[in-house]
Chains A and B, each alone.
Chain A
Amino acid sequence: MLEIKNLHARIAESGVEIIRGLNLTVKAGEVAAIMGPNGSGKSTLSYILAGRPDYEVTEGEILYNGESILEMDPAERAAAGIFLAFQYPMEIPGVATMEFLKVAMNAQRKARGEEPLKIPELIKRVKEEAGLLSMDMAMLKRPLNVGFSGGEKKRAEILQMKLLQPNLCVLDETDSGLDIDALKIVSDGVNALRSPDRAIVVITHYQRLLEHIVPDSVHVLYKGQVIKSGDKSLAFELEENGYAGIIEEAA
């Protein structure tokens, strides 16, 4: 589903290269975990997948279902089924959460040639999903993410993901800022999306999340490259010994 080949990318403004020859393949049905120390380029990779204009791809390719997405803008990628759950979801004053959900869901439906959702149907679906994530509907009356706690923002991201039903889900440190109970609720939400025709990329620091969302593959990102890949036992190894050994081994 996702094939990243020899990807090089830099910060558009400064020209500083962050991703330096990264290779990664994730198949449909697979849950891939990306781990790595702070500053290794995990969030940058997630932004590049979503098409954030702050980064420039200088070399390499990103194929999604066999086709390059590099020329697509963020909205086109999202409509094609790519979803990024942000590490730091943005607060957008003045845009009502419900209105935003309606516009986003209908934009994607339109791009797929489907009829817009009627308001009662929309509200019903939002209520259902919000209930599963133990979210208060009153929160959704507020402007998007404004005044949400860290944990509430993460739940709101998962709520959006479940409503939009993407094919490729990229979760950037969704576990940070969540207590144990919230982690369980959010993980259940993600697991509910596991399916043979969907791929999930989980970016995390900690083994903890991977106890709830058990990955099929684990990749270690360091200085903009995948330096080691393995199965879920690699995550245990990292938890035990830290990154130092693997970094040395790769050097």
Chain B
Amino acid sequence: MNMHATPQRTAAETALIDAFGERLSLLPGDGEVMVKRDDAIEALKAGLPTKRIESWHYTDLRRLLTSVPAHDGAVQAKAIAPLLEGSTVLSALNGATAGKLPSIEGVTVQSLAEKLTDGSFAPALDPYGFDDAIGALNTAFVADGYFVDIADGTEPETPLELQNVQAGGQTHMRFPVRVGTGAKATIVERQTGEGAALVSSVSQLVLGDDAEVLWLIVQEQPDTATHLAQFKAKLGKNSKLTLFLMNAGGKLVRQEIIVDAAGEGAVFTLRGINLLAGDTHTDVTMVLDHSVPHTSSTEVIRNVVTGKARGVFQGRINVAQYAQKTDAKMACNTLLLSDDGEFSAKPELEIFADDVQCGHGATVTEIDHNHLFYLMARGIDEKTARGLLVKAFVAEVIEELEVEPVVEALEALLDGWFQTHG
């Protein structure tokens, strides 16, 4: 066997390349966008990333993506109730925007299919660094999504929910959002559905100076779906981004978080919960750049691992030489509830500045038997007592969000998950 020979294409790789040929004429885009699509499929032709590529070391996509479903335009996906009551919902069903566009003062909403053809969007499709397989997959196939612009100084009265619901086949969506100077918004990103779909979804947030955003990603795909997602954000001066991520489903999931704290005084907060069950694989990979002085970030990831689930958190923080006074703290804590489950945490700090405060920590624990005994000694049956302790472990990061309706909605999701997986 020759180790250096180009390996044969996998079934999934072949299916993707074939699908591109079939879909191309139906995909929206101006000339420049089509060039980007073509570049992207060329990148994919070189092969899906394997574990030999550092950023994919724990998620050998080439091996794990065993098949790719065909595009299926016939299936129906139904919109769901918003996470936060009273939200303005922008739904994308089975890969296409649905319903009429809302009119909110100071907020411009366009379908991405339209945006892709207006001659302005191609630069936003540039890949992120090397090995941007999710970016490439999405660029090649993206069919629709929402482009949202929140004008300077605007604070929409209701939260905005970007709803991506799949019903099988393939779904490739993109959600670029610009939040203007001093604007303030709560944005919910729902990723869900009922089919054995291949989903790629890219969210791109540009946060103006002094803007403030709470962005909640709730991923609840069924355990038959592959979910490959990217969240990219660029933070303006003194802006604040709180990103909350909850992974509570999917067979093969990779959520990339790529944040550039590019404006002085920017504050980034990441709180993540991975609820992992069954025979599934979930990867959260963050790359955070502190590129200018006086920016700060904290990241807390809490994982609950049951069954044969495997989880990964890679957290890379780059502090540029010029980015003095950076304050960055990262923690990844795992509660391992089964002998067959596993979680790999890989924090990486690349610090080129000398006057910074940076730290990270990772722990793996089991349920504390003394705590369990105490609860049971009060008459709480073992299953309920375990549930209370597991919930306590993750609920801490939810309570930190402090916004009452948000905390309640997320805790209800937690309860739901524990009821089916507890």
Verify if B393 is at the interface (C-beta below 8 Å from A): yes
Verify if B4 is at the interface (C-beta below 8 Å from A): no
B384 touches A52 (CB 8 A): no
The docked-state distance in angstroms from the alpha carbon of A56 to that of B392 is 30
The docked-state distance in angstroms from the alpha carbon of A75 to that of B384 is 10
Among candidates A51, A94, A103, A104, residue contacting B393 with C-beta atoms closer than 8 Å: A94
Chain A residue contacts of B385, Cβ below 8 A: 75
Chain B residue contacts of A100, Cβ below 8 A: 375, 378, 388
Verify if B389 is at the interface (C-beta below 8 Å from A): yes
Verify if A108 is at the interface (C-beta below 8 Å from B): yes
Verify if A160 is at the interface (C-beta below 8 Å from B): yes
A78 touches B378 (CB 8 A): yes
Smallest Cβ distance from A85 to chain B, in angstroms? 10
Verify if A117 is at the interface (C-beta below 8 Å from B): no
The residues in B between 337 and 373 inclusive whose CB is less than 8 angstroms from any CB of A are 369-371, 373
Nearest opposing residue in chain B for A103, CB measure: B380
Supposing A94-B395, A95-B392 touch, asked if A104 and B378 sit within 8 A by C-beta, the answer is yes
The docked-state distance in angstroms from the alpha carbon of A86 to that of B371 is 12
Chain A residue contacts of B65, Cβ below 8 A: none
B388 touches A74 (CB 8 A): no
Supposing A73-B382, A75-B382, A100-B388 touch, asked if A92 and B377 sit within 8 A by C-beta, the answer is no
Chain A residue contacts of B374, Cβ below 8 A: 86, 89-90, 92
Chain B residue contacts of A74, Cβ below 8 A: 373, 376-377
Number of chain A interface residues as a range: 20 to 34
Verify if A137 is at the interface (C-beta below 8 Å from B): no
Verify if B379 is at the interface (C-beta below 8 Å from A): yes
Among candidates B376, B379, B384, B389, residue contacting A92 with C-beta atoms closer than 8 Å: B389
B382 touches A103 (CB 8 A): no
Among candidates A54, A78, A99, residue contacting B377 with C-beta atoms closer than 8 Å: A78
A107 touches B379 (CB 8 A): yes
A164 touches B371 (CB 8 A): no
Contact with B along A83-112 (1 / 0, CB 8 A): 110100110111100011001100110010
Among candidates B379, B382, B389, B396, residue contacting A104 with C-beta atoms closer than 8 Å: B379
Chain A residue contacts of B392, Cβ below 8 A: 92-95, 143
Nearest opposing residue in chain A for B378, CB measure: A104
Chain B residue contacts of A75, Cβ below 8 A: 376-377, 379-382, 385
Chain B residue contacts of A86, Cβ below 8 A: 374, 377
Supposing A75-B376, A90-B371, A100-B375 touch, asked if A107 and B393 sit within 8 A by C-beta, the answer is no
A95 touches B389 (CB 8 A): yes
The docked-state distance in angstroms from the alpha carbon of A93 to that of B388 is 11
Verify if A193 is at the interface (C-beta below 8 Å from B): no
Contact with A along B276-307 (1 / 0, CB 8 A): 00000000000000000000000000000000
Verify if A79 is at the interface (C-beta below 8 Å from B): yes
Nearest opposing residue in chain B for A85, CB measure: B377
Smallest Cβ distance from A113 to chain B, in angstroms? 14
Tally inter-chain residue pairs, CB-CB below 8 A. 75
Chain B residue contacts of A103, Cβ below 8 A: 380, 384, 388
Among candidates A51, A54, A92, residue contacting B375 with C-beta atoms closer than 8 Å: A92
Verify if A35 is at the interface (C-beta below 8 Å from B): no
The docked-state distance in angstroms from the alpha carbon of A176 to that of B276 is 44
The docked-state distance in angstroms from the alpha carbon of A204 to that of B384 is 33
Nearest opposing residue in chain A for B380, CB measure: A107
Chain A residue contacts of B373, Cβ below 8 A: 50, 52-53, 74
The residues in B between 370 and 422 inclusive whose CB is less than 8 angstroms from any CB of A are 370-371, 373-382, 384-385, 388-389, 391-393, 395-396
Chain B residue contacts of A92, Cβ below 8 A: 371, 374-375, 389, 392
The docked-state distance in angstroms from the alpha carbon of A50 to that of B377 is 6
Smallest Cβ distance from B349 to chain A, in angstroms? 27
Chain A residue contacts of B375, Cβ below 8 A: 92, 95, 100, 104
Chain A residue contacts of B379, Cβ below 8 A: 75, 78-79, 104, 107-108, 111, 164
Chain A residue contacts of B382, Cβ below 8 A: 73, 75
Contact with A along B174-209 (1 / 0, CB 8 A): 000000000000000000000000000000000000
Chain A residue contacts of B370, Cβ below 8 A: 90
The docked-state distance in angstroms from the alpha carbon of A10 to that of B391 is 33
Chain B residue contacts of A83, Cβ below 8 A: 377
Chain B residue contacts of A107, Cβ below 8 A: 378-381, 384
Chain A residue contacts of B393, Cβ below 8 A: 94
Nearest opposing residue in chain B for A166, CB measure: B379
The docked-state distance in angstroms from the alpha carbon of A52 to that of B379 is 13
Supposing A94-B393, A95-B392 touch, asked if A164 and B369 sit within 8 A by C-beta, the answer is no
| Residue among B378, B380, B382, B391 with the highest chain A CB neighbour number at 10 A | B378
B376 touches A164 (CB 8 A): no
Nearest opposing residue in chain B for A163, CB measure: B378
Among candidates B371, B377, B384, B395, residue contacting A51 with C-beta atoms closer than 8 Å: B377
The docked-state distance in angstroms from the alpha carbon of A17 to that of B374 is 23
Smallest Cβ distance from A50 to chain B, in angstroms? 5
Q: A73-B382, A107-B378 are in contact. List 6 more A-B contacts (CB 8 A).
A: A75-B381, A78-B376, A90-B374, A93-B392, A94-B389, A94-B393
**10 closest A-B pairs by CB:** A94-B392, A78-B379, A74-B376, A104-B378, A108-B379, A75-B376, A90-B374, A107-B379, A79-B379, A75-B381
Question: Can you list 7 contacts pairing A with B, beta carbon distance less than 8 Å?
Answer: A54-B369, A89-B374, A92-B374, A92-B389, A103-B384, A104-B375, A108-B379
Which positions in B face A, CB cutoff 8 Å?
369-371, 373-382, 384-385, 388-389, 391-393, 395-396
